[in-house]
Amino acid sequence: MTACPRHALVLAGSRGPTDPVARAAGLPHKALAPIDGVPMLERVVSALFQAPGIEHVILSTDQALIEHGLGKNLTQQIEGGRITLATPKPSPSESVAHVLEGLTEGAAFPLLVTTADHPLLTGAMVEHFCGFAPDHADLVIGLAEAEVIKQRYPDAIRTFYRFKGRGYSGCNLFLMNTPKAHRVVDFWREMERHRKRPWRLVAAVGVVQLLRFVIGRLCLEDALRHLSGKIGAEIGMVAMPFAEAAIDVDKPGDLDLAEAILRARG
């Protein structure tokens, strides 16, 4: 088991007042939506500081959240230097790149990255993810198998990516271990830029591998190995045994589910 990194980045950019979660909560920013009485963002930051090793959180957020007010706890942590603010960019990948550019190389890595709409995150989840992250990987992603999620929450609506008969859902947990993680972020930015030009995406990923994925013949390990070779940085993964790690809040129905889960936790 390896320790969690000292620094963590929370992506808390806003899609504006049209965001369905912000609109349902009647607030200017999704991250302020309360789950069982506590704003999502505050729950995420609290979970990070409960993980052993994490001492500093970088909060990438916009003026709408700051002007509305971050609450007493987060404000005190900003004043005490445990939280620093960063200006978000138009996309998540650009926001991550912007933060990395502002950190000295010695302080930038390793860096844990998560999102503000992850209110079910716990310190134990973060500790498990970091502890089982392969040391040799330049970037590590957290994934939960479909069976883990469905067994615990059979009615939860999640997006699963199918690899050779096995479904996986992202957990919004990323560990940037080495400076080579920059290459993955650059590739991510390219993919975001070409999202309206599918042929560019196909060319970047590779036609053969994409076809194998479509027909269900591509396993996750092969996919990560292929992408690692394309990008020039090794991508690893951690299978998360926590179903809640894959439940973020993207729509109003997720608010109800997250609240029910937290109340059941007591």
- Write 225-232 long-range contacts (CB < 8 A, 24+): 227/187, 230/187, 230/204, 230/205, 230/206, 231/183, 231/184, 231/187, 232/180, 232/183
Q: What is the pLDDT at residue 172?
A: 94
- Alpha carbon of residue 189 to chain centroid: 15
- The pLDDT of residue 180 is above 60: yes
Cβ burial 153-168 (10 Å sphere, 16+ → b, else e):
beebebebeebeeebb
Residue 155 to residues 74, 147, 150, Cα–Cα distance (Å): 34, 12, 7
Rounded CA separation 45/74 (Å)? 8
Looking up tokens 């007042």, which residue turns up?
A: 17
**Sign, CA torsion 255/173/236/53:** negative
Range with lowest mean pLDDT among 58-67, 75-84, 197-206, 232-241: 197-206
Q: What is the pLDDT at residue 198?
A: 47
Give the pLDDT mean for 147-164.
Answer: 82
Neighbours of 12 (CB within 10 A): 25
Range with lowest mean pLDDT among 21-25, 161-165, 180-184, 209-213: 209-213
Instruction: Taking each helix axis as running N to C, give the angle between helix 181-193 and helix 198-205, from 0 to 180 degrees, rounded to the nearest 10.
Output: 150
- The pLDDT of residue 3 is above 90: no
| Confidence category of residue 17, pLDDT binned at 50, 70, 90 | low
pLDDT in tens, 80-105: 999 999 999 988 899 999 998 887 66
| Confidence category of residue 203, pLDDT binned at 50, 70, 90 | low
Give the pLDDT mean for 64-68.
Answer: 75
7-265 belongs to CATH 3.90.550.10: yes
Q: What is the pLDDT at residue 165?
A: 74
pLDDT in tens, 208-262: 555 555 546 677 888 888 889 889 999 999 999 999 999 999 888 888 889 999 8
Q: What is the mean pLDDT of the chain?
A: 85
Neighbours of 113 (CB within 10 A): 25
Q: Give, in degrees to the nearest 5, the angle at Cα 262 between 153 and 21.
A: 85
Give the pLDDT mean for 13-42.
Answer: 85
Residue 116 to residues 60, 83, 84, 203, 231, Cα–Cα distance (Å): 9, 14, 15, 32, 27
